[in-house]
């Protein structure tokens, strides 16, 4: 069955940033392009590659990859909360096929996901339960990171399995591109932050969550004003990545090291792993073509913000 892909940056600041009206209009126009693309494709099911920001996965046990047999959105930054409609048969078959293909991953019968996983579903369909969805977690914020060649092999294994299914699948990649938001790092964490990164101390309180979110919102305002100390965006790196992905030959990315990615594009640039996995999945089903491509570095969102819609040539 045919596959299609929407790869997009997400940002918890979309509902909190004071954007220039021209940029807001531009973003809404590209989101509308993506909505029409998804509606025209009319998938039976979505397979969504997404990161997590220490809301569902912690350093007490951090997998490189995890497939959700069941999942719940926690509803941070105003994103929709609640259970996702996960088709367990497809999730189980996918996980078993990927492991059988030589790529180890974890599974979860109760995956907790945040805005990074559900925001594209809300933008495309208006509801996180509008379509059955299999969430695939790709570790993108917690070093050490698995090599990109292995991320590519994960995607290829997913694509080979999905291409043999009797269902029309929309792939979603959610994350990136260059950005360096104020997320605590293990090697510089305070004792309190270390407890949080380990997932200890019980569920985060509403007050603590609000303080955490406000810190990101405040940093975004400082970044837009040029007074923040976080790492700058890297538009050239973003555009090079998008060009490689559009080319259909993802192998040059195998040489990109985690250390270089962090140095050039920031600690959270690793969210592009979701794009690489999803593009690799699409490539496994045959040649593809990018139908719509958008990019703009947006400091108010602390993001090199990109969106592409991609379709198999055979389907078109």
Question: At 302, which CATH number?
Answer: 3.40.830.10
- Separation of alpha carbons 77 and 80, rounded Å: 9
- Separation of alpha carbons 50 and 73, rounded Å: 12
- Separation of alpha carbons 45 and 264, rounded Å: 36
Q: In total, how many domains does the chain have?
A: 1
Q: What percent of the chain has pLDDT over 70?
A: 98
Q: Is 179 a catalytic residue?
A: yes
Which pLDDT score is estimated for 36? 98
Select which of 16, 179, 292, 316 is catalytic: 179
pLDDT band at 315 (very low <50, low <70, confident <90, very high): low
Q: How is residue 301 annotated by DSSP?
A: G
- Separation of alpha carbons 60 and 202, rounded Å: 13
Q: Domain range holding 201?
A: 3-312
Give the chain's count of helices (H) and strands (E): 9, 11
- Asked whether the predicted pLDDT for residue 21 surpasses 70, the reply is yes
Which pLDDT score is estimated for 130? 97
Strands 82-83 and 71-73: antiparallel
Which pLDDT score is estimated for 170? 98
Q: Is 315 a catalytic residue?
A: no
pLDDT band at 316 (very low <50, low <70, confident <90, very high): low
Q: Which whole number is the average pLDDT over 79-98?
A: 97
Select which of 10, 16, 53, 115 is catalytic: 115
- Asked whether the predicted pLDDT for residue 157 surpasses 70, the reply is yes
The pTM score is 0.96
């Amino acid at each position: 069955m045919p596959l299609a892909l929407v790869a997009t940056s997400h940002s918890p600041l979309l509902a909190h940033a004071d954007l220039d009206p021209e940029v807001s209009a531009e973003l809404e126009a590209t989101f509308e392009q993506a909505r029409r693309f998804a509606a025209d494709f009319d998938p039976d099911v979505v397979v969504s590659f997404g990161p997590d920001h220490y809301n569902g996965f912690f350093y007490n046990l951090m997998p490189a990859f995890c497939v959700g047999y069941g999942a719940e959105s926690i509803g941070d930054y105003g994103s929709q909360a609640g259970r996702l409609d996960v088709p367990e048969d497809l999730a189980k078959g996918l996980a078993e096929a990927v492991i059988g293909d030589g790529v180890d991953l974890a599974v979860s019968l109760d995956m907790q996901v945040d805005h990074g996983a559900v925001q594209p579903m809300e933008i495309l369909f208006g509801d996180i339960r509008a379509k059955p969805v299999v969430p695939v977690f790709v570790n993108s914020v917690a070093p050490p990171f698995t090599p990109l060649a292995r991320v590519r092999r994960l995607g290829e294994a997913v694509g080979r399995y999905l291409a043999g299914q009797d269902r029309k699948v929309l792939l979603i990649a959610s994350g990136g591109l260059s950005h360096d938001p104020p997320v605590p790092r293990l090697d510089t964490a305070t004792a309190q932050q270390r407890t949080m990164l380990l997932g200890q101390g019980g569920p985060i309180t509403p007050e603590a969550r609000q303080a955490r979110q406000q810190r990101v919102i405040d940093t975004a305002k400082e970044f837009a004003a040029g007074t923040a100390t976080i790492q700058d965006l890297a538009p050239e790196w973003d555009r090079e990545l998008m060009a490689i992905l559009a080319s259909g030959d993802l192998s040059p990315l195998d040489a990109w090291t985690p250390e270089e990615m962090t140095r050039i594009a920031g600690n959270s640039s690793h969210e592009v792993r979701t794009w690489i996995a999803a593009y690799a999945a699409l490539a496994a089903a045959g040649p593809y073509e990018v139908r719509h491509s958008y990019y703009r570095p947006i400091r108010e969102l602390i993001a090199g913000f990109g969106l592409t819609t991609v379709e198999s040539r055979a389907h078109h």
